[in-house]
Amino acid sequence: MSIKLLTPIRILISSSEPVRHWWAQRLTAVALIPLSLWFIYSLTTMLTANYDTVVLWLSNLKNSLLMLFFILILYYHALLGLQVVIEDYVESVRQRKALLLFVKIIISLTLLCNLLVILFIYMEF
C-alpha cells in the first residue's frame, strides 16, 4: 500500500524535462482560472469607464499585482503551449529551433512591454 502512495511522489521528484513541462502547463492553466475570472469581472465592471478611471483602477496595488500575475502566467502558459505545438508539428530541426527562438523573443518583448506599462501606470499615481 505504501509503495502505491509513494509512486506519484517519486515520479515528481525524479521527473524529466517533458514531465516538468507537462506539469508547468497544468499548473499555469489552473492558476489562470481564478485570474481569468477576476480579469473578466474587472472588464465587465469597467465597460463604460473612461481612460482616467481605468488608469486609477490599475494604479491600485491589488489590481496592479493581479494584472502582473495574470500577464506573467498567461504569457508563460502561451509559451509552453506554442513550444509543444512547434516541437510536435515542425519536422526540420533547424526550422524548429529558429521558430522556437522567434516565439520566445516575441513573447519576451511583448511581456516586457506589458510589464513596463503596468509599472509606469502604477508608479505615476
- Quote the pLDDT of residue 56: 93
Q: pLDDT value at position 99?
A: 97
- CA 48 to CA 108: how far, in whole Å? 32
| pTM reported for the whole predicted model | 0.83
Q: What is the pLDDT of residue 16?
A: 80
Q: Within a 10 A sphere around the Cβ of 110, how many other Cβ atoms?
A: 13
pLDDT in tens, 34-51: 999 999 999 999 999 999
Domains and CATH numbers, the chain: 15-124 (1.20.1300.10)
* Residue 18, pLDDT score: 85
Length of the chain, in residues: 125
Rounded to an integer, what is the distance from CA 110 to the centroid of its chain? 12
Would you place residue 17 in the very low, low, confident or very high pLDDT band (cuts 50, 70, 90)?
A: confident
Model pLDDT, residue 125: 62
Q: Kindly tell me the burial class for residue 39, based on how many C-beta atoms sit within 10 Å of its own C-beta (0-12, 13-18, 19 or more).
A: middle
